[in-house]
Amino acid sequence: MGNIRITKQFNFETGHALYGYDGKCRNVHGHSYKLSVTVIGTPITDTTHVKLGMVIDFGDLKKIVKEEIVDVFDHATVFNKHTPHVELAKELTDRGHSVILADYQPTSENMVLSFADKIKARLPENIKLHSLRLQETDTSFAEWYASDN
């Protein structure tokens, strides 16, 4: 039996600011992100297995992505922890807001790289992460492919 790719899509709202950037995105703002997660593997052929015919149960993939990304980033604000935004982050946190201080500039490119690492670490041994697509706006997205890495 051959490999099959399956994809699950997720939505979440996240704010961020790009410190040092020369455009509007240096200001705190938000996006309605769409994340597509594609994994690859061989469907289960064991006729006694409850998940016969599945590469991975969509519910199992959903659990991983929700715990690692959606539940963490949804309605949070992301700042690069190496910028002066840490002062704003502290004030927001003190006021009860959800803030993430990332080790990177919170661009779609860097976020998708971080998401790939988090998801790969949680997938079963026989399932590989094939690609991620993080859509920031209707016309802008970043993609990660295992074959490129």
Burial level of 110, CB count in 10 A (0-12/13-18/19+)? middle
Is 29 annotated in a binding site? The answer is yes
Helices (H), the chain: 58-65, 71-73, 85-94, 108-122
Our answer to whether residue 136 is catalytic in this structure is: yes
Catalytic residue among 13, 49, 67, 75: 75
Is 85 annotated in a binding site? The answer is no
Cβ-proximal residues to 104 (8 Å cutoff; 6+ apart), any chain: 80, 110, 111, 113, 114
Residues tagged active-site: 25, 75, 136
Task: List the binding residues.
Answer: 16, 29, 31
Task: List the binding residues for Zn(2+).
Answer: 16, 29, 31
